[in-house]
Every structure is written in C-alpha cells, then in structure tokens.
Amino acid sequence: MEEARPSSQGGAESARRPSQRDRSHSVGGVLVTVLRDREGPAGSESPGDLVRLQERRLGRSVLRTYPTKLDIDDIVPNQNQPRAGPKEDIELQRQIVANQGVFEPLLVEPHPDLNGKFRIIDGDRRWTNTRVLVIEEDRADLRTLPAEVTDHTLSEEERLRVWIYIHRQRKEWDAREKEMVAYRLVRFLGRASAASILGVTVRELDKLVYVFELSKRFTGLSEPGASITWARELNGVAKKLLTPDVIDSVAEKVNSRRITNSKDLRKLRQVLRDPAAKEHFMTKSGDIDSALLRVAPPEPESKAGLAGDIETLTAQIRRYPWTELSALKGDKELLKKITEAQALLNGLKDVLKM
C-alpha cells in the first residue's frame, strides 16, 4: 500500500469522517478508506489531498489509522500512560542502530492541545531510546520515525482498551500497571465491565483498585513508582488490623522516612495484634522496631490446674497497656475487686506454706 500523506493542514485535521465521495476497499484483507478533501475538485486523486485509512482491530476496539513518517520532535509522550519507570534501554538502542532506525511503527494520535503534534499511544520506549541516540550521539539520520496515526484523538476509555489489549498480547503487563488501569477502568465502565476487560474476577479487581488507592497515600518516596510496592505490602496485613487511623499512621511514618524498607510492613502483623505494641507504634515517636520490643513474649504452654489458672491471669493482666491502666485510677469498684483478689491470693499462699 502506498505511504499515506496527510493534507497540508496536518494529519489531525485530514483524518476525518468519510464524505460521500470517499471510497472504501480491501487491500490484503484490511479495509482501506480513501478520504477526499471535501473542497478538492471532483475526481482529483493528487497525493496532497488523500489520506488512506485502514482499520486496525485490537480486540474489541477498531482503530482507523493511516501510516506516515514523523519527525521525532513532532511526537509527544503521554504522561498518563500505565507503563512507568525507566525507559532507556541500552540493548534497544543497539537494535535501533543495527536496524538503522525503528522497525515497528509507533501508534500515535493527534495531540488534543498541541497543533501539529502527535501523542504516543504505543511505542514510548522506541521513541525515548531513539531520542537518546539523536540527542546524545548526534544521530540525525534517526530523527524520522514510522508511525500509524489514528483518525481522531482517542477518549480515555478507548485509549485504556488499546493499552490493555497491546500489553496483554505482548505479555508484558506487570501488576503495578494493572492496578493503575483497573482503577481508571472502574471510573469509566464500572466494576463488572472493568473486570471483564482485564480478565479478572470482580473480587480480584477490587483488590487491584484498593491497592492503587492505598498507593496514593505514599507521597514522600524518592521513586514515586515504588508506591505500589509499599501499598502491596500493607495490603498483606489483615484487613481487621488496618483501621483508618493505622493506615494514617503508617503513611505518615513512611512519608517522613521513619520506615524505609517496604518489607518491614510485614512486621505490623505482629505489632498490631499486641495492644501495648500497637499503642506505642501509633504514637508520634513510635516506629516498627521500637514497637516490636513491646510485643509480649509468646505465652508458655499453660500448666494444668491451679498453677496454670494463676499464670493465665497474670499474663492477661500484663497485656493491658499502661495508658489504659492509668485511665482506671480512682475506680472504686475495680480497687475493691483487686483487694478481694489480693486477699484471696494471700490466704491461698498462707495455706500452701503449711
């Protein structure tokens, strides 16, 4: 198929709905639509007024695109795409040099705000590594990149569907990206449709969304992409232990660098089950390590009979945090019970001495 050339008004304006004079036909099994300039003379087929659109099926989504070549500076990355983290790849740069350019076309859309620019839908790593070669190694011969341009700027829902299909096909979708997309899909489509698109159960979807929401609490990390790792570790703690005030305290301590290793959050399973340790952790000065020092040692195997009962009683009393005991000062009814218990124990002690 001939390389398409957008009209002089730019690809974003040339790609439009077909007029009555537009023609569609099949080329190699792919539907191709020839769009004529509505203002052009009837019967004209000069290269300047034609854009050849082909339908590209990505799962349930069908994109109408035209192939072209774009200067690297006319292409803009999408800051909201799911894939994050480092994109520079020495091996990919070697492949680009060996192939004398990018082989697989980028998938781009007309930029909604920058006239004459195109925003990347798929191909961010190819664009990034080519740009490194152009700027840092002065490879001006690599400036022009092959691209497929969509006939319109996609809606966020359309873009998410395309991203999901492409990454699932390549099997390079990691959990972090999946959590972000799950959250955004639920906003647009609801839980049932989002779960169907991602190929997960609604319960699994809810977990992905919850982890992503947790990740937004970790704002003080040197690497923002690490927030999902912290959220995933915190999500491993039993839900009944993760009360809102506990989550607030954990987020504050992580953001202020009081907790620096995400795996340390696993220790909360032990800390939060112990009243004294939990109380200390929740204080401004408390952290995981100092809270662990307050965890009561494992109770020895209970002895049978009276000795075991007394041991159980004293162990239970020791587990009460001092702040809770302080609040009971002056409680006459409690003091009366303690006096009675004390008299009983003293009497028992005297009997056993004989």
- How would DSSP label each residue in 184-197? HHHHHH-HHHHHHH
- CA–CA dist 52, 325 (Å, integer): 80
Sheet (strand 106-110) strand order: 23-27, 30-36, 50-58, 61-71, 144-150, 106-110, 118-122, 75-76
* Sequence ranges of the domains in the chain: 11-158, 239-315
- Span 128-147, pLDDT tens digits: 999 999 999 999 999 999 99
CA angle, 59 as apex, 54 and 63 as ends, to 5°? 25
Smallest Cα–Cα separation from 117: which of 157, 70, 180? 70
pLDDT of 193 reads: 82
What is the total residue count of the chain?
A: 354
Query: In which band, very low, low, confident or very high, does the pLDDT at 48 lie, cut at 50, 70 and 90?
Result: very low
For residues 100-115, give the mean pLDDT.
Answer: 93
Give the alpha-carbon dihedral of 148, 154, 160, 161, to 10 degrees. -70
Both tokens assigned to 333 = 């009814």
Mean pLDDT over the full length of the chain: 80
Phi, psi of 68 (to 5 degrees): -160, -175
Would you say domain 11-158 falls under CATH 3.40.630.190?
Answer: no
For residues 191-211, give the mean pLDDT.
Answer: 88
- CA–CA dist 309, 338 (Å, integer): 17
pTM higher than 0.85 = no
Higher pLDDT, 178 or 68: 68
Residue 234 has a CB neighbour count (10 Å cut-off) of: 23
Q: Are 33 and 64 in contact (CB under 8 A)?
A: yes
For residues 229-254, give the mean pLDDT.
Answer: 94
Q: What single-letter DSSP state applies at residue 299?
A: P
Q: What is the largest CA-CA distance in the chain?
A: 122
- CA–CA dist 333, 155 (Å, integer): 68
Letter for the amino acid at 13? Answer: E
Find the helix or strand (DSSP H, E) in which 23 lies. strand 23-27
- CA–CA dist 91, 242 (Å, integer): 43
Both tokens assigned to 228 = 């999902």
Residues 6+ apart with CB under 8 A from 151: 15, 16, 53, 63, 64, 65, 66
Whole-number CA gyration radius for the chain: 33
- Span 11-32, pLDDT tens digits: 433 444 444 444 444 433 344 4
For residues 43-56, give the mean pLDDT.
Answer: 59
